[in-house]
Structure 1
C-alpha cells in the first residue's frame, strides 16, 4: 500500500524533527529561534521536497544550516546597527533640537514622503524595506521576487527617486 504525501511528510517530520531541532539549538544557542527555524525547515520540506527521498537527511541538514547562518547573519547585522546607533547617540550632544530644526526636519521628511509617493508602489516598498534594514533575501521574500533581482531593482528605484527629487528642486528653484 502506498502512503499519501501528508503521511510521508508526517513520518519524515516525526523521524527527523528532534535531530533538526537539536542541531539548530547547537548552532544558534537560542531555543525559541531554533524552534522557529526547525518549523521553517520542515515547511520548506513540505513545499519543495528533495528529488531523492533517500537523501532527505542531507537535504534537511543543508537547509537547516543555511537557515541558521542566515539567522546568525541577521542577528549580527542587528547588533552592529544597534552598536552603531548607540555610539552615534553617545557622540552627539544631547541638546534638544530647536523648534526651527524640528520644523525643517519635518518639512524634509514630508518632501521625501511626497517623492516616494510619486514612485510606483513596488519601488516605494522596496526602498522603504531597505531603509528599514531588511536584507536582499528578506526584500525578495516580502515582495515575492527573485533575490538576484533585488539589487538592480533597488538601484533603479533609487535612481527614479533621485530624478523626482532633482526635478522637484529644479521646479522650486525656477519659481
Structure 2
C-alpha cells in the first residue's frame, strides 16, 4: 500500500522527533529552545526532504547539528555584545554634571510634567506606565482594557502629548517675539 506524503511525514516525525529533541537538549541545554529547533528541523524536512527516504536519520542529524551550532553562535554573539555594552558603560567615567546642566534638566522635567498634567488622566497613566517599562499586557491589566487596544491608545495619547508640546512651544515663541 502506497503512503501519502503527509502520512509518510507523520510517520517519520513520530519515529524521529524524540531522538532529535533529546540530541538538541543535550547540545544546547535549553528545553524551550530545543523544542523550537526540533520543530524547525522537521519543518525543513517537510519542505525539502532528502532524496533517499532511508537517509532521513542522518539527514536530520546534520540539520539538527547545524541548527544547534547556529543557535549557540547567536547566543554567544548576544552575550559578547551584552558584555561589551556593560564594559563600555563601566569604563566611561560618569561626567559630573554642572549646576547649570542640573537646572536645565530640572526645567525640562517640569515642562514635560506640565504637558502630562494637561492630558486626560487615562492618557497620562498610559504614557507613564509605558515609560516605566510595563508591557502592553500589563498596561491592559492595570487600566482594565483589552490588550489589543493598548497600542492604539498609546499612539493617541502620544499624539495628544505632542500637540500639547507643540502648542506650548508656539505660545513660548510668540511671547518671545512680543
Which TM-score tier does this pair reach, normalised by the shorter chain? Answer: 0.5 to 0.7
Moved over 4 A (4+): none
Paired position in structure 2 for 1:8: 8
**DSSP 3-state at the match of 2:94:** coil
Alignment correspondent of 1:103: none
- Measured against aligned partners, the alpha-carbon deviations of 1:41-79 in whole angstroms (never above 9, x if no partner) come to 000000000011000000000000000000000000000
Alignment of 1:121-132 (within 5 A): none
Distance (Å, rounded) in 2 between the aligned partners of 1:5 and 1:93? 63
Please name the residue that 2:42 is paired with: 42
Q: Distance in 2 between matches of 1:90 and 1:29?
A: 31
Deviations 1:67-107 (A, max 9, x none): 000000000000000000000000112337x68xxxxxxxx
Equivalents in 1 of 2:94, 2:55: separation in Å? 59
1: CA distance between counterparts of 2:73 and 2:11?
Answer: 32
The answer for unaligned runs of 5 or more in structure 2 is 105-178
- TM-score, scaled to structure 2: 0.54
User: Which structure's CA Rg is the greater one?
Assistant: 2
Shift of 1:39: 0.2
Question: How many residues matched?
Answer: 100
Superposed CA deviations along residues 24-54 of structure 1, whole A, max 9, x for unmatched, are 0000000000000000000000000001100
What is the match of residue 18 of structure 2? 18
